Amino acid sequence: MNPARLTVDRPVMTGMATLIVILLGLAALTRLPVDLLPDITYPVLTVTTAYPNAGPEEVEQLVTRPIEQAAAAITGAREIRSTSSEGNSNVRVQFGWGTDLREAVDDLRDRLARIASQLPEGAERPLVRQFDTQASPIMQLGVGSALDPIQLRALIDNRIAPRFERLPGVAAVDVRGGLEREIRIEVHPERLQALGIGLDTVRSALQEASVVSPGGPVVEGRREFRLRTEAQFRDLEEIANTVVRRDETGPVRLFQIADIRDTHQRPTRTFRVDGADGMVLAIRKLADANTVEVAAAVRAEVRRIERDFPQVAIQIPSDGSRFISRSIANLGQAILYGSALAVLVLLAFLRNLRFTLVAATAIPISVIATFGLVYFGGLTLNLMTLGGIALGVGLMVDNAIVVIESIARNREENPGLGIPEAAIQGTGQVSAAIVASTLTTLAIFLPLFFAEELAGQLFKPLAAVVAFALAVSLVASLTLVPMLMARRMLHAASAATAPPHGLERTYLRLLEPALRHPWWVVLASIALLLFALQGFRGVGTEFLPATDEGDIRINLSMEPGTRLEVLDAVTRDVEATVRERVPEAQHVVTSIGASAFGFGSPSASNLRLNVGPRDARDRSSDEIAAALRQAIGQPPGVTVRVRATGGIFMRGFGRGDDTESLSIEVRGFDRVAMNAVALAFGEAVEDIPGVTDVRVGDDGGRPEFLTRIDRARAADLGVDVRSIAQAIETAIGGSRAGQLRTGGTETRIWVQVQDAEHRRLDELLNLTIAGAGGDRIPLRSLVQFDPVIGPSSIQRREQARIATLFVNVAERPLGDIAADVRAALAQLPLPDEVDYQVSGDIEEQEAAFSELFLGTVLAILLVYMVMASLYESLRDPLIVMFSVPLAAIGVVLALRLTGTTLNVQSLIGVMLLVGIVVNNAILLVDRMARLQRGEGRAVRDAVLLAARQRLRPILMTTLTTILALVPLSLGLGEGGEAQAPMARVVIGGLLSSTLITLLLIPSLYLIVHRSATAAVPPSPGTA
């Protein structure tokens, strides 16, 4: 069926149908959300549990392991990782793609409720978060004020942070820095000893003196009342007058044995923004929330907060949505420039402005219609969907070019043919060919829709957009283009469309000797292919192309146990170096001490530099990082790591703030042996080219004292072990003893021995604890302290301990470095029961490469099957498929000449080539078959005539596709590096395949059909 017969006779209907599509697409465009990438955030749930004053090993045994066991039973859980650090447990549960996280949250909370009784009494309730706490926040807000630090922290906790948390799409707001109010009871141990009072007595007295209790119902006549007892502390005076003990000498009140201070909690970390002390609010979004929309809502709320709280100044040192917006705008420009270049190619070949405009209508119609697909498909405008449009711009006009060229040639060769008849007849002659070429292109995307890993999640939207745009362009070419070409006004200057015969004569002079020696052409093509395949050995591999997002991280780590003040002084020196050596730095956010969720070492600090857009500076992020690495060096006692990070781009793939792209996980049972192996691995790989520095996740442990209780003696004296441990905890670390409620806020009451941090342990052993019969037993007779080295944190994967060696890489492709690392590690002997795994981005790279290689093979098979079905032939589609391997020649040249690596993006380009490069061969073989079988021409004559007739549409479609991708291939502007490898691969492969196809396909057709006759049955669409 030829649809042009309907549309040429009904132009109004065709025009209205086109306008309906355009209106719906434009309406959808105004409602489309914008994001950097498709929704590929890892399906991760995080369980965080605070266990104050507990060491990493206690947290691991008492908190982390029960939670891991509960999470392992959840349906769909694929991997469980955990970090146990001082006072904190973090369990990260990763699910399979497509998991409904809301159902997973309910299931996980239900299982956590079942094990709640197994958790220690001092542990807080586990919090389940629907995001990865180790992933980067989308925004950071710096808060400064002249207010007292305690007042500022209270204002943010109670008034400002909740306003951000109420915004749609905001998952959590991490409040960092500032000082939290605390009522500290500093007990004098000498007075306790003189009066024979224990810390447990003080703590119990405070807890019992501040209660809220229901009293039950009271009935008076016809009414019933509720009785409630509120006896909470209301001010410091009530706390000070609390009776701790009463005996024959009278009451002993708290103020007699302790100092009551209204102060702040002991700071464990501090923050600076651009060198000034302040607070930082880290905004985290829900997994399915739109980054740009959330960031816009946060910025609007910032303006409202500054209006409502003039004493507070808020700046935004880090905003990931800015990079997203600039990247999308840059990609939009690439689409416009590519479209303009494609139209110029059409004008150069058609030499008719009106015909060029008709062909060009396929671009806006296809693009606008695709916006409707994006909207109704629940997708976003992102680098993948817009990248698909940019990739398809040149392809969108291919079908229209073929139709217009066929109509124009019919008019030229048959001057007496009417314009409407020429439009119908010309469309019918090529309809089978363009349908076949479009279907083969669409077939290559099918494997992507079955991909389950990251590559499939990343490129499914791109595949859907390109496929839909090409389908729309096919429909437009078979309906709208013939209708427009049937208008007489377009043919007023049709004489100007005469083909460039000089180009055709030159082509035929090359083709005729090739047809005299067709086997030489085949052998020469094979030789070129084999030579090109050798070039693949020099092409590096990596997971994703590096992007310059203006984000640089500096990590400093010192000896475990280093005081916060010492670490702060070292960090200030580094900040001074940054101010001196990095004039591009727009903002510097400094974090000193443990991280927000307690994962990081308390002896480490981090600096995050925002150096602005790439176009606004002369140096790249990598160059700035390399200069800083050299300027800072390695000060004595300090380990420094400097790297330019992927920032928000890598955060979409589950990468965190402090994660290198390559790491080595050592598994075993003995922590000392595992750390020794990790250190040996570090020495083995640190000299590999491209490795800038290495870091062992476990920093060797931190000094601590292990309390050993004499259980037999404690039992004899009637003292339980739990009471002993609690007394020691209260004396040294302190413990909660109630809360002070004032003005709707609650402040914890903390009991601790005065100057506990600066006292010798021998002094604390003089404290007493109640024994059987009320006797006071000194702790000295029950416990002893042994100095040991304990871990600062414990990492686990799949419920087994691991020691991780982080490898920072630069200046070399990741795949090459990983290969060298594996070769170096293979030469090292391993202790029994210790093994290792190279992980990080290399794991994702290998999984993605495997899936895409399989997808490419499936695409080749599908393309052949589609063509065989359409032509009801096995031979002709096989001839066409010979154009596919020829693309490898251009692919290798493009990668080597531009220094591009083989990555996920370039592999997608290879898959696309499978469907694109066969289009030219289809045009040739289809026309040859029509002339030979339909018109009874000799094989050689059919080959020569078909080659001459199809030269111009082949050159036009190839050049429009190539030039439309040139702006994308340059990789200029924000985010341009992400799409450039795919464009470069397509340009190189299409160019080489087209140039060789013009000689190889006619030669192969002649070889295969040399003995054929005109009696062979006609191909589809001949009639």
pLDDT in tens, 354-374: 888 888 898 999 999 999 999
CA distance 699 to 657: 18
Sign of the Cα pseudo-torsion (206, 209, 210, 215, in order): positive
Domain 549-646 grouped into CATH 3.30.70.1430 = yes
How many residues are there in the chain? 1023
Where are the extended beta strands (E) located within 151-210? 170-177, 181-187
Buried b (16+ CB within 10 A) or exposed e, 18-29: beebbebbeebb
Q: Is 851 exposed, middle or buried (0-12, 13-18, 19+ CB in 10 A)?
A: buried
243 token code pair: 């009776």
What stretch of H or E contains 293? helix 291-308
Tell me the C-alpha distance between 888 and 127, whole Å. 52
Task: Please identify which residue in the block is written with the tokens 């794991």.
Answer: 843
Sequence ranges of the domains in the chain: 44-131, 198-256+703-790, 352-489, 500-538+873-1011, 549-646
Structure tokens at 815: 């795949």
Rounded to whole angstroms, the Cα distance separating 626 from 642 reads 8
What is the CATH number assigned to the segment(s) 44-131?
Answer: 3.30.70.1430
The pLDDT, as a whole number, for residue 548 is: 85
d(C-alpha 121, C-alpha 465), whole Å: 55
**From CA 88, how far away is CA 67, in angstroms rounded?**
13
Q: In this structure, are strands 312-319 and 551-558 parallel, antiparallel, or unpaired?
A: unpaired
**274: left (phi > 0), else alpha (psi -120 to 50), else beta?**
left
Q: Is residue 594 within 8 Å of 269, Cβ to Cβ?
A: yes
Q: How far apart are CA 267 and CA 382, in angstroms?
A: 42
Kindly report, residue by residue over 175-186, the tens digit of the pLDDT. 988 888 899 999
**Closest to 431 in 3D by CA, of 10, 917, 3:** 3
**Which CATH superfamily does the domain covering 352-489 fall into?**
Multidrug efflux transporter AcrB transmembrane domain (1.20.1640.10)
Q: b or e along 898-908 (b: 16 or more beta carbons within 10 Å of the residue's beta carbon)?
A: bebbbbbbbbb
The values of phi and psi at residue 584, to 5°, are: -75, -15
| Distance in angstroms (rounded) separating the CA atoms of residues 280 and 176 | 5
Q: Compute, in degrees rounded to 10, the torsion defined by CA atoms 994, 995, 997, 1003.
A: 160
The stretches of 582-646 forming alpha helices (DSSP H) are: 621-632
For the domain bounded by 500-538+873-1011, which CATH number is listed? Answer: 1.20.1640.10
Q: How far apart are the first and last CA of the chain?
A: 10
Distance CA(331)–CA(980), nearest Å, equals 11
For residue 550, the 8-state DSSP code is: S
Following CA atoms 85, 89, 90, 95 in sequence, which dihedral angle do they give, to the nearest 10 degrees? 130
Residues of the chain with pLDDT under 50: 493-499, 596-599, 647-649, 651-657, 1012-1023
Give the rounded distance of the alpha carbon of 793 from its chain centre: 26
pLDDT at residue 819, as a whole number: 92
In whole angstroms, what is the distance from residue 964 CA to residue 955 CA?
A: 14
DSSP 882-919: THHHHHHHHHHHHHHHHT--B-HHHHHHHHHHHHHHHH
Alpha-carbon distance of 788 to 700, in angstroms, equals 12
Beta strands in 275-345 (DSSP E): 276-277, 279-285, 312-319
Tokens encoding 689: 């080219």
For 288, list phi and psi in degrees, rounded to 5.
-100, 15
Q: How many CA atoms lie within 13 A of 786 on its CB side?
A: 7
pLDDT at 126: 93
**Adjacent-strand bridge partners of 553:** 608, 643
Q: How far apart are CA 306 and CA 543, in angstroms?
A: 43
Q: Cα torsion at 446, 451, 454, 459 (round to 10°)? A: 0
* Integer Cα distance of 392 and 468 in angstroms: 10
Between strands 276-277 and 269-273, the pairing is: antiparallel
Reference 206, options 751, 755, 753; nearest CA is: 751
Q: Which residues contact 623 (CB under 8 A, 6 or more apart)?
A: none
198-256+703-790 CATH: 3.30.2090.10
State residue 595's pLDDT score: 58
Rg (CA), the chain: 36
Closest residue by Cα to residue 302 from 176, 130, 170, 181 = 170
Whether the domain at 198-256+703-790 and the domain at 352-489 fall into the same CATH topology? no
3-class secondary-structure state, position 155 = helix
Question: CB of 724 within 8 A of CB of 708?
Answer: no
DSSP conformation letters of 977-1004: HHHHHHHHHHHHHHHHHHHHHHHHHHHH
| Residue 294 identity | V
Closest CA to 326 of 978, 905, 987: 978
